[in-house]
Amino acid sequence: MKRKIGWAVITILVLVYALFPVLSILMNSFKSSGDFTEGGQFLPRTWSTENYQMIFFGDAKDLFLPALRNSLGITLIATVIAVVLATLCAYAVARLDFPGKRIVLGAALAISIFPVISIVTPLFNLWRQIGLYDTWLGLIIPYLSLTLPISIYTLSAFFQQIPWELEQAAQVDGATPFQAFRKVIVPLALPGVFTTAIIAFFIAWNDFVYGISLTSTSAARPVPAALAFFTGASQFEEPAGAISAAAIIVTIPVVIIVMLFQRQIVSGLTQGAVKG
């Protein structure tokens, strides 16, 4: 009984620690400009939707809506490409025996933790020279450098859990290697593929460094970068309310995805964590 109470207390503390910043941002999104001037108040003195009206219909509309469109489009494209390429690469790493296989996995893990800021300046100069600066493609390619390595590393663990005999049995029945991969292996690995896709989506969706460095207009600027350009009604007013409202809006897709597919996410993560 004491153990259950202890775990319950720990769970509540972790939830409060994790959700309090989100709750604070939510409260800020409903505050009027006067509430920020006075300060020191967690709850809004007068609940107002002026911040949401500002980003959808007001002065911040031309900055936020194109950025939201860019984030959705660029992130989805980068996620799809990363998952497809990672699926093929991870299958080869898991199933084939070739020299340097461990180096491939080690390199993928090393690249996934490589500091992004160190390559932004040369990438900025290169993109300006070849015409990819401030374009969707100019962000999709760097986003692949964020999502592809971790996707390969994660998916290779899932493919290693699938019995090799199932693929051999399919080939004995007349299937080609690609047909066995597509009709037998991929369906069995779907929980892992789905989990990897969600992780890749979150990484690309939350990127700020590439978004702020490789764009200069609303043609390709994503939401995290666009938030840095929000301004208040005057030079003396901070746009905290509008930024909070925009942050809540861009968090909603993430929350919806997690709520709808939490079983698949948990299933995929636990499958990849257990060695067969």
Residues 2-23 have pLDDT tens digits of 788 888 889 999 988 988 888 8
Share of the chain above pLDDT 70, in %: 91
The pLDDT value given to residue 275: 46
Task: In whole angstroms, give the CA distance from residue 112 to residue 201.
Answer: 14
Task: Give the count of beta carbons closer than 10 Å to the beta carbon of residue 137.
Answer: 12
Given a cut of 80, is residue 105 above it in pLDDT?
Answer: no
CATH number at residue 224: 1.10.3720.10
Coil, strand, or helix at residue 198? helix
189 inside domain: yes
Give domain status of residue 28, yes or no.
Answer: no
pLDDT tens digits for 213-270?
999 998 999 999 998 888 765 555 678 888 888 989 988 888 887 777 777 666 656 6
pLDDT tops 70 at residue 39: no
Our count of domains for the chain comes to: 1
155: in domain: yes
Domain of 214, in residue numbers: 59-273
Q: Can you give the three-state secondary structure of 72-91, one letter per residue?
A: HHHHHHHHHHHHHHHHHHHH
Mean pLDDT of 105-124: 83
Per-residue pLDDT tens over the stretch 42-74? 788 888 888 898 888 887 888 889 999 999 999
Residue 126: pLDDT band (50, 70, 90) is very high
Q: Within a domain: residue 93?
A: yes
Q: What is the mean pLDDT of the chain?
A: 83
Higher-confidence residue of 89 and 1: namely: 89
pLDDT in tens, 71-94: 999 999 999 999 999 988 888 888
Residue 181 has a pLDDT of 79
Specify the amino acid at residue 246. Answer: A
- Decide if 106 is inside a domain: yes
The answer to the question of residue 30 being in a domain is no
Q: What is the DSSP string of 201-254?
A: HHHHHT--HHHHHS--STTT--HHHHGGG---SSTTS--HHHHHHHHHHHHHHH
Mean pLDDT, residues 97-124: 81
Confidence (pLDDT) at 221: 92
Give the helix ranges, DSSP H, for the chain.
Answer: 2-29, 33-38, 50-56, 61-95, 101-112, 117-130, 136-161, 164-172, 177-180, 186-188, 190-205, 209-213, 223-226, 240-260, 262-273
134: left (phi over 0), alpha (psi -120 to 50) or beta: left
Averaged over 192-202, what is the pLDDT? 87
**Which residue has better confidence, 44 or 124?**
124
**What is the distance between the alpha carbons of residues 272 and 189, in angstroms, rounded to a whole number?**
10
